[in-house]
């Protein structure tokens, strides 16, 4: 009999995966290897947790809902070594977690069926610790995955996709229908893999400035770069970086955003963004 008796909590955005086919597909996508340090965000009722633990033997999970912790520990008995961190994932320092000297490797592999109501903050939090992460395999709302993987010219190409693609290789893997969950969400889901780029391949001089340029450029999508970025730089600065001041953000490649931010970072103090 299942140790999980509490119903899903709407306020936590809980939708538990129950379809074995998709559970197996996610475990196959993660494909843990000996020595890997797996960290699952939001294990819920253990749909992915227990198969991963059974295959890998060791797993750390981050769970905010205290009502799920005891059932998770009970279900894992005899399956493998489960470490539970009872905390809001946005308060977890992934870099510190990866620096644990008790393991063979210094980077972690993140897995999770992310709560849809806070998926973007979790993605940006993981991005802040990308150097400590080997890869991420997440299930999210399909609309979010589409935005993450979109390229220039797409209607859903925006800040989220540019920021993630600037630091990671983003690969949409497969869709998951509402019926695979209990209770079924009102939207389709999808699984995505993010592979953080090596530091020397990122090529961003000032990370805060890059983030500001991307945020302002997409702040008002219908505006040209000249107008959207007027609090950051001039049309002349944009042209000097090799971009068209009259272009809109949705037309600009990730590499061009990097080039613009790096050009601004190299300007003399009097012209550099404050």
Residues 225, 89: Cα–Cα separation, whole Å: 35
Q: Is the pLDDT of residue 266 over 90?
A: yes
Final residue before a domain boundary, out of 184, 202, 220: 202
- Region class of 153: left (phi > 0), else alpha (psi between -120 and 50), else beta: left
Residue 15 known to bind ligand: yes
Question: Are 160 and 217 part of one and the same domain?
Answer: no
Residue 225 known to bind ligand: no
Residue 42 known to bind ligand: yes
Q: Nearest CA to 84 among 104, 66, 99, 105?
A: 66
Residue 63 known to bind ligand: yes
Final residue before a domain boundary, out of 163, 181, 202: 202
Residue 88 known to bind ligand: yes
Residues 252, 242: Cα–Cα separation, whole Å: 11
> pLDDT exceeding 70 applies to what percent of the chain?
93
Question: Are 129 and 233 part of one and the same domain?
Answer: no
Cβ pair 179, 190 in contact under 8 A: no
Q: Is the pLDDT of residue 272 over 90?
A: no
- The mean predicted confidence, pLDDT, of the chain is 92
Residue 17 known to bind ligand: yes
Domain extent at residue 241? 207-265
Final residue before a domain boundary, out of 202, 229, 246: 202
What DSSP state is assigned to residue 197?
Answer: P
For the stretch 237-259, pLDDT in tens is 999 999 999 999 999 999 999 99
For the stretch 157-176, pLDDT in tens is 999 999 999 999 999 999 99
Q: What integer pLDDT is reported at residue 24 of this predicted model?
A: 97
What DSSP state is assigned to residue 194?
Answer: E
Give residues with Cβ within 8 angstroms of 252, minimum separation 6.
Answer: 152, 217, 225, 243
Residue of 16 and 217 predicted with greater confidence:
217
How confident is residue 221, by pLDDT bands cut at 50, 70 and 90? confident
């Amino acid at each position: 009999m299942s140790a999980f008796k509490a119903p899903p909590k709407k306020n936590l955005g809980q939708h538990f995966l129950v379809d074995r086919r998709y559970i197996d597909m996610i475990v196959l996508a993660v494909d843990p290897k000996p020595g890997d340090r797996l960290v699952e965000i939001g294990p819920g009722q253990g749909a992915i947790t227990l198969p991963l633990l059974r295959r890998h033997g060791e797993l750390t999970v981050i769970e905010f809902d205290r009502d799920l912790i005891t059932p998770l520990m009970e279900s894992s008995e005899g399956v493998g070594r489960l470490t539970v961190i009872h905390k809001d994932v946005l308060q977890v320092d992934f870099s510190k977690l990866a620096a644990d000297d008790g393991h063979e490797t210094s980077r972690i592999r993140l897995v999770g069926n992310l709560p849809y109501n806070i998926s973007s903050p979790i993605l940006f939090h993981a991005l802040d610790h990308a150097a400590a992460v080997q890869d991420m395999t997440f299930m999210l709302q399909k609309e979010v995955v589409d935005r993450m993987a979109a390229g220039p010219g797409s209607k859903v190409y925006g800040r989220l996709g540019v920021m993630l693609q600037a630091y990671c290789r983003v690969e949409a893997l497969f869709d998951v229908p509402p019926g695979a969950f209990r209770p079924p969400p009102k939207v389709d889901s999808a699984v995505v893999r993010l592979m953080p780029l090596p530091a020397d391949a990122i090529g961003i001089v000032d990370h805060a400035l890059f983030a500001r340029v991307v945020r302002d450029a997409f702040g008002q999508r219908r505006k040209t770069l000249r107008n959207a970025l007027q609090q950051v730089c001039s049309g002349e600065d944009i042209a000097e970086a090799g971009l068209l001041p009259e272009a809109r953000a949705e037309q600009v490649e990730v590499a061009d955003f990097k080039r613009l931010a790096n050009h601004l970072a190299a300007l003399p103090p009097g012209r550099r963004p404050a």
